[in-house]
Structure 1
Amino acid sequence: MPTATNRGVDLYYETDGDGPTVAFVGDVGYGAWLWGWHHDAVAGPYETVVFDQRGTGRSDAPTGPYDVGTLAADLEAVLADHGVRSAHVVGAGLGGMVALRYAHEYTRASTLTLYCTAADGDDIDADALAELSLDAGPEASLSGAFSEQFRTEAADLLDRVTGWRREEDASGDPWEAQAAAMTGFSAPPLYEVTLPTTVYYGLDDPVVAPEAAESLAAELPRGDSEAVEGRHLCFVEHAPAVTDRLLATLDTHTDHEV
């Protein structure tokens, strides 16, 4: 599988499907499993690019600190290595911040879809974020990610998720470095991020309050927001509905691409 390099750091990525490119950027600590549900819906009519952020999965885990600017440069290295000219960028949490910085700094992004993210690290509940870490315990770390009802009804699925997390998720110092990048983030001038952008947020997200996500969407020139029932990984819990909306957005904007 391909590997891109940014300043000596190797970044593992995978691609699938055919058509316009959709690049997925993960949240603090989570491996590529996070995008499995989206990938199944998107790959085919679109090409998907999923990569392990530095510190995660099969990518290198250099000593921190990390910052969002460096993570955006990692995304640029991946897309450049794959020869992508234009990409719809989908980011969750920290990945949403990376997408915002990427759209401001680089030229390949065509639309942004942001899940459970904010414009400023001060809007992140650092304690709630820490409780999502696998280091907090496999079961405890899921309570902030998924609703109690989902954890009960989808217990078998969450057992598989825990297995994937043990294989792919960051922990220890790399997790801390990613978390510090998220809490230390300050968005570029949002009026300069003029791409069509949809911000999805969980109504019961303990990490990013709905008000912070709504404020981000309101400050973007072409931003809008969508509420989703659930917690920080509401876009996984309600993946069928969320991916349907994502595909509708991609189809709308792909019609205008050359």
Structure 2
Amino acid sequence: MNINLLVIGSCQTYGYGLAAGQSFVDQFIRRLEQCGQHVKAEYYAPVSLQAVRYLLPKLPLNQYDVILLQAGHFELQQSQPFTTFLKKQRSVNELVIAVPADIDALRDLAPLVLDKAGSPSGNWLMANLKLAFLRSLAGFRTLTRLNEVHRNLRIILKALRPHRHKVLLLTPLPHREPVSRWLRNRGRTLFIEEAAHQGFSVFDTHTLIQPREEYFIIDDPAHLNAVGHELIGSRLFDFYRAEPVVLPDQFKSPDRFNGHRMP
């Protein structure tokens, strides 16, 4: 059986910082092929959540058998300057081109140099001040960044509803930095609630990956290492087999996840 796989998401989809073949998407594809499937994958990455909103109408969604969406990576993490959390994003429609990414070229790019300036105590104090501020805004539903994430997600899922039986929707991946970790947790809740509202199953990555160094690239709080990718890839395949997607009946498991929590 041939499977046309559409992959939309961040640099995690092709394994930022890892060797070829180690990303969770690679792990997922490898397990499909071990079941006798022939997979042709097309990547649109890295893209923001807002860019996905404008990308989808330009793609021939009917031609794909599986649509894997891993979104929210860029919006749900620390921003510089911090005030960007309070500003609306400008439209990027004119910047979105429906051309698949060259994954090999992206993997060859040098990893980003992370800013490690500041003392640990100063970073801890600043992070807690930022968290208190963000929590207060979120409590009154006036945190622009979260509101825009929810709005874009709602529009994206509405566009995908005719294809929801073949959509693999992942919650935003966990993050180790305190402010980003809080944002990812809030994003996780938004994804689960909106998915349930629109009738989508969702693969909850937070039940698998804890914000501990054993799952992340050394000195990088944002990107998973090979262990984290292997864990997600293998369980994503199990989730896929248990959901009503395109695999033939003989490959489906009689056990089904509930679509919101992994055991």
TM-score range for the pair, normalised by the shorter chain length: 0.3 to 0.5
Q: TM-score, normalised by structure 2?
A: 0.42
Question: Which structure: larger Rg?
Answer: 2
Quick one: higher RCO (CA 8 Å, sep 6+), 1 or 2?
2
Provide TM-score, normalisation by structure 1: 0.43
Higher strand share: 1
